[in-house]
A and B are shown apart, each in its own frame.
Chain A
């Protein structure tokens, strides 16, 4: 199985700031990485797939980069609704695997 390691586990920031969340795969997954957002009381949301392709409806302040084993989710100009849990997931091979999550909190 491909192990996915996210960092940091916790991140505190203020509205208007920019943040980056990293995801490292235990072996190359080409470009096939997705990012999800989880917020209390709301359905989980697919933000980005194939490393950098924004899912329909994802605001342009979100961006994804990387390939091979190292990927980054960047959120620019944080909005209050961006605080929550973020997960990466590889979709290069079975079994699909997720990172451990990053909690983005309000500073």
Chain B
């Protein structure tokens, strides 16, 4: 059974940094592209970016490219999202997803909440 379990969320102050993790199981992690998607409290869904199966290539939403970094450790079957200089508009639930070559998201984690507030 495919499982994606996110962690690392919580309450953070504006301007701070935060690193989310996603541990994958039930499939060969190193064979798949992975993506991060977030959902705002108003239910708007936003694609953050993705990473190739070997970590050699990433794509980002233009509005987030300068502050967010996606990485992976295939030996640990773990996906990461490094968030820097966070803003109130980054308040959202962050989902780790398995991606079909970066096109669609065929498995989702349960999500982790990030709240940015002073």
The chain A residues found within 8 Å of chain B, CB to CB, are 1, 32, 34, 36, 43-46, 49, 55, 85, 87, 89, 91, 94-98, 100-101
Contacts and interface: CB of A to CB of B under 8 A. Distances in A.
Contact of B108 (A43, A85, A89): A43
A49 B103 CA distance: 9
Contacts of B47: 89, 95-98
Contacts of B102: 96
Interface in B45-98: 45-47, 59-62, 95
27 contacts: A1-B62, A32-B103, A34-B104, A34-B105, A36-B105, A43-B4, A43-B109, A44-B95, A44-B105, A44-B108, A46-B107, A49-B100, A49-B103, A85-B43, A87-B45, A89-B105, A91-B103, A91-B104, A94-B59, A95-B47, A95-B60, A95-B61, A95-B62, A96-B35, A96-B47, A96-B103, A98-B45
B113 to A, nearest CB: 14
Q: Is the interface of B mostly helix, strand, loop or mixed?
A: strand
Interface residues of B, number: 22
Contacts, number: 51
Contacts of B104: 34, 46, 49, 89, 91
Contact of A55 (B106, B108, B109): B106
Q: Which 7 pairs between the two chains have the least Cβ-Cβ distance?
A: A98-B45, A91-B103, A96-B47, A44-B108, A43-B108, A34-B104, A95-B61
Contacts of A43: 4, 107-110
Contact of B105 (A32, A46, A85, A101): A46
